[in-house]
């Protein structure tokens, strides 16, 4: 698919097609939650490896989780401390989460807000997207729009000429993944963010 400008990428995403855009960690593949099955097919991804929901604002994401008032308070405090940033919170899913995002375990959902202006601007217009890293399953993450376009011919990518050198920069390190349990946070994957209060 062609490289497109940011406004075109947003329009395409709203129609339910898969797009790719930079984030603060590695570039993402994103699609409307109801069309998450498209990403599993593109990546040749096993259904036991769920996608996450990425949003521009915390209030866009909380509707997708369920918990006690005390739990919600803890989750929101953690989010306030580390979002936007390279932290994915895996929480109990509400009925609003499509099963296509996490086909084999619909009881949880990963949430993240990237610390990247372009990603936030796109997500603010599209609403929450089901996302994952831009790579074939089992392969290293692709770090440039050019590499993504060459690998995923059916994915719309953001034109590199629309990005400043700072916006093109990615850490190349996937986000920290923290899952909530009755005993507190457990780290499923350690990235650059370290949660102090587990």
pLDDT at 23 over 90: yes
Q: Average model confidence (pLDDT) for the chain?
A: 91
Which residues are CB-contacts of 53 (< 8 A; sequence separation ≥ 6)? Answer: 33, 61, 64, 97, 101, 109, 110, 111, 112, 128, 129, 130, 131
pLDDT at residue 73, rounded to an integer:
97
Domains of the chain: 3-189 (3.90.870.10)
Alpha carbon distance 129, 36 (integer Å): 9
Q: In the chain, what percentage of residues exceed pLDDT 90?
A: 75
pLDDT at 165 over 90: no
pLDDT at 167 over 80: no
Q: Measure Cα distances from 166 to 24, 86, 101, 109 in Å.
A: 10, 17, 31, 30
pLDDT at 131 over 90: yes
Residue 179 backbone dihedrals phi, psi, to 5 degrees: -105, 135
pLDDT tens readout for residues 61-71? 999 999 999 99
């Amino acid at each position: 698919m062609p490289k497109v400008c940011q406004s075109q990428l947003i329009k395409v995403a709203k129609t339910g097609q898969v797009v790719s855009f930079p984030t603060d960690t590695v570039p993402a593949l994103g699609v409307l939650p109801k069309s998450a099955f498209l990403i599993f097919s593109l990546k040749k991804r096993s259904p036991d490896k769920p996608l996450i929901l990425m949003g521009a604002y915390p209030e866009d994401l909380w509707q997708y989780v369920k918990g006690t008032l005390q739990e919600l308070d803890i989750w929101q405090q953690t989010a306030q401390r580390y979002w936007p940033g390279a932290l994915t919170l895996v929480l109990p899913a509400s009925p609003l989460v499509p099963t296509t995002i996490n086909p084999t375990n619909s009881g949880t959902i990963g949430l993240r807000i990237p610390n990247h202006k372009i990603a936030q601007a796109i997500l603010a217009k599209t609403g929450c997207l089901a996302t994952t890293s831009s790579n074939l399953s089992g392969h290293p993450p692709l770090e440039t729009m050019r590499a993504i376009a060459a690998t995923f011919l059916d994915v719309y990518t953001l034109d590199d000429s629309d990005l400043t050198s700072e916006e093109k920069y990615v850490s190349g390190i996937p986000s920290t993944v923290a899952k909530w349990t009755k005993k507190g946070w457990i780290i499923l994957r350690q990235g650059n963010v370290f949660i102090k209060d587990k």
